[in-house]
Amino acid sequence: MTLLKSLARSPSAIIGAVLLLIVLVMAASAGWLFPNDPLSLAGRPLQAPFANPRFPLGTDSVGRNVAAQLFYGARTSLLIGLISTVVAIVIGIVVGALAGFYGRWIDTALMRVTEAFQTVPSFILLLLLVVIFGSHIETLALTIGIVSWTAPARLTRAEFLTLRNREFVQACRGLGMPNWRIIFLEILPNALPPVIVYASVVMAFSILLESALAFLGLSDPNVASWGNLIADGRRVLRTAAYVATLPGLVILITVLSISLIGQGLNDAMNPRLRRKG
């Protein structure tokens, strides 16, 4: 049974894909539905949803269109999530593969570095990096990826430790294949499934981290994001709760969709679960 067929039989994967498709449509249609700058003043502040047909989801505390910020915020969150996930997975794979394949002092040194990163809470380390390197949107994506690579590294290392002495690896060594080819062309494809599944966790976590930074006023203020909108809504939470509630719901839907897809991938790529199916 192919991976796509397995995913098609997973209710969690189907629900997650539908929810994520909604967010993707929001991101893709933002420029068409709202051609103007989403951060520009559009009308009277704090107009309630559906009170004005020009602003179906209302306006925020300074008169910006909430719907426009939600749609453009989908672009921001997905971009940050994607870049951060790629950075974290690439770093984690390289570190974990080298540690698991070579072992000995290389494994010890790389794992000590990994443990050093893990001793500091991810969000605290992220705050430090943002203070040092700034809060530009691309910088945020890279720094979130940098604080998220330790778990993929440990997962990759564990897979390499179980695979490095298998018969096919011994055969490659007997044929004189260089280590880099054995690592990246022979062992890594067999070690990737759990790492790919965990990538969904990294992406969801990255979106939440950016929202938390924006809530604290440490995200890029020149970019429309869900976290920035929640931060603005915090000041008017008692009088205009929709300003913070709407982006919070979209964040919930996005993170839930990614988590459900990850669960579906786990079900599809787990051999024991496939045999039960």
How does pLDDT run across 216-238, given as a tens digit for each residue? 888 888 889 998 899 888 888 88
pLDDT grade for 3, boundaries at 50, 70 and 90: low
Select the more confidently predicted residue: 267 or 127: 127
pLDDT grade for 276, boundaries at 50, 70 and 90: very low
Residue 8 has pLDDT above 80, yes or no: no
Helices (H), the chain: 3-8, 11-33, 66-102, 104-119, 122-133, 137-146, 150-163, 167-174, 179-181, 188-215, 226-234, 242-269, 271-276
Residue 274 has pLDDT above 80, yes or no: no
| Position 96 in a domain | yes
- Read off the pTM: 0.89
50, 60 Cβ separation under 8 angstroms: no
**Count: domains in the chain:** 1
How does pLDDT run across 111-157, given as a tens digit for each residue? 999 999 888 888 899 999 998 888 888 899 999 999 999 999 999 99
| Position 138 in a domain | yes
| Position 50 in a domain | no
Residues 6+ apart with CB under 8 A from 127: 213, 218
For tokens 């991938």, name the residue: 265
| Position 22 in a domain | no
| Position 136 in a domain | yes
| Position 8 in a domain | no
Residue-averaged pLDDT of the chain: 88
| Position 57 in a domain | no
Residue 33 has pLDDT above 80, yes or no: yes
Q: Which domain holds residue 232?
A: 65-271
| Position 199 in a domain | yes
Residue 83 has pLDDT above 90, yes or no: yes
Residue 211 has pLDDT above 50, yes or no: yes
CATH number at 266 reads 1.10.3720.10
